[in-house]
Amino acid sequence: MSAHLLEVRGLTKVYRVRGRREPLRAVDGVSLYVDAGETLGLVGESGCGKSTLGRAILRLDAPTAGEVYFDGKRVDADSIHALRRGMQMVFQNPFTALDPRMTIGGSIAEGLEIHRIGKNRAARRARVAELMEMAGLDAGLASRYPHELSGGQRQRAGIARALAVEPRFLICDEPVSALDVSAQAQILNTLLDLQERLGLACLFIAHDLAAVRQVSHRIAVMYLGRIVESGPADDIVHAPRHPYTRALLDAAPVADPQAAKARARRAPEGEAAFAPEGFAGCPFCPRCRFATEQCARERPTLCGAEGGRLVACHHPL
């Protein structure tokens, strides 16, 4: 049982990769929750396991271990079909959800047909127009094909398709990462509007903290398959406690070139690399300015701090 709309406990996804002796723990014992109407931002560098986590939650890929509860019910291979209407995904690349040979209206209507929503074709067509309007898309574009739309319009079509089955929870996996800055801002505004109008809960995934902080109530920071810090969005941004979160903030683009220069010097050096299987220390240790001998020896667990925050660090800031 779970009192949260979505609860994830110890979720793990291990890949066996050819040419690599050790299994890759792309998601390693992640626990998190999302309440109704709430947006949890999930942020971390490319390759840290964000998409794998999102896909495992929705069982687009079966997790290796761990549990997912949605609306108090255990999500497993059997129950997922009944629960899928409540949980939908918006992909980074809208072509993942939109069939290039189908009109935009047809793609959006597909979800309605699969779940037998709408009395007849006319009712479904009216609902498609309504969904397009909700996603900020001119309903006149229903007869167009995906390649005839701009990147931003295509992503709006992807959002409309996800909304078709009236989900209560949406996983948005880097929905704006492929778009230019102005299209990004507009789509983030649309997502904020949908949160309010529909009371939609959301797991918003991005590698860029700037996008995440705009739409999230809480933020979870992921590093190499694990959550290293989480808490209320404002607190994470204004007073990060994990050195990796600090580094992500320092790496975020700033308008003032002078400030950008000062910050660049503080950004972490090197690249994230999954540690060898036997390594027992903190995964961030090789890149951390504050690392001590203890950090190389002993992995910090995610511990509660004041103000609803969790941090996995021996020497939190």
Q: What minimum distance in Å lies between the beta carbon of 84 and Mg ion?
A: 21
Does 311 interact with ligand ADP (rule: CB under 6 A)?
no
Burial of 248-261, coded b for 16+ CB within 10 Å and e otherwise, reads bbbebeeeeeeeee
**Residue 49 binding: pick among ligand ADP, Mg ion, none (C-beta 5-8 Å cut-off by kind):** ligand ADP
Does 52 interact with Mg ion (rule: CB under 5 A)?
no
Residue among 108 and 244 whose Cβ is closer to ligand ADP: 244
**Residue 103 binding: pick among Mg ion, ligand ADP, none (C-beta 5-8 Å cut-off by kind):** none
According to CB under 5 A, which one of 51, 103, 195, 245 is a site residue for Mg ion? 51
Q: What minimum distance in Å lies between the beta carbon of 94 and Mg ion?
A: 14
Alpha helices in the chain (DSSP H): 50-57, 80-83, 104-114, 121-134, 151-163, 181-198, 209-215, 233-238, 243-251, 257-264, 293-297
Burial of 205-236, coded b for 16+ CB within 10 Å and e otherwise, reads bbbbbebbbbbbbbbbbbbbbbbbbbbebebb
According to CB under 6 A, which one of 48, 89, 233, 285 is a site residue for ligand ADP? 48
The letter for the amino acid at 275 is A
DSSP assignment letter at 278: T
Q: Are 155 and 179 in contact (CB under 8 A)?
A: yes
Does 92 interact with ligand ADP (rule: CB under 6 A)?
no
Does 29 interact with ligand ADP (rule: CB under 6 A)?
no
For 25, phi then psi, to 5°, come to -90, 80
Residue among 52 and 195 whose Cβ is closer to Mg ion: 52
* Contacting range for ligand ADP; rule: CB under 6 A; set: 3-11, 46-54, 72-80, 254-262: 46-54
The site for ligand ADP, by CB under 6 A, has a size of 12
Cα–Cα distance between 165 and 84 in angstroms, integer?
9
List residues near Mg ion by CB under 5 A.
51
List residues near ligand ADP by CB under 6 A.
15, 17, 24, 26, 44, 46-52
